[in-house]
Amino acid sequence: MPQPNVLILRAPGTNCDQETGYAFDLAGGNSSFVHINQLIESPEMVSDYQILCLPGGFSYGDDIAAGRILASQMQSRLADVLAEFHSSGKLILGICNGFQILIKSGFLLPPDDQGLPATLTWNDSGRFVDCWVNLKTDNEKCVFLKNIEKMYLPIAHAEGKFVPRNKQVLNQLKGDHQLALSYCLANGSDDDLVYPDNPNGSTANVAGVCDTTGRIFGLMPHPERFIDPTHHPRWTREGNSAAGDGLALFQNAINFFKD
């Protein structure tokens, strides 16, 4: 497949769609922007795409809770078509608000008889946090993080604290290599992290999670905001000329269909 098609899903309040589409296109994809109402009206259109991305923003103003309304729409109106999309070997990515949507819809971590195994809730500070963070990966399973060991990316959210239902869930996710992205120090250490190194108080410093197949991935940091060296906050002082850390994530998604 020479150029995988990417569906960038929009809703009222989405505001990172253009940057995310540009990142996928730069990586070799062909992005289209589709409103949630269009997809609900014609759900069969997803068959034309290989990647579905839920970008960042504040869908429906994050009323009730971040991502909850769009998550409910997808759960009630698109569950079957999205399950078929995923089972056919395709990829789903959720960035920031998209991660919140994937978690709260149950598409990323399916519910059991006790409900959802984890959620994303208010930062420990109780405030919106906007800063850059060091990250390390568990790339054993996640397609999007193939051959990536560390990243430096910006975050911007108020409800990014990852909280599993209990320690058993946390250990299972860790054992299955689903805790794919974690906050850390610049040297890779993640012991006893506090703000701003763990910007929201996430349990086990979790910044991103994949499903059991590694083909659904949600993360709070914004890879689309660091794809060019000039996006780095110190690019002039450090003479940075390499591509931004986030670009490799989008390249992995595109290359998945070329390998």
Q: Are 14 and 97 in contact (CB under 8 A)?
A: yes
- Residues tagged active-site: 96, 222, 224
Q: Can you tell me the distance from the alpha carbon of 148 to that of 139, in angstroms, rounded to the nearest whole number?
A: 7
Q: Are 157 and 92 in contact (CB under 8 A)?
A: no
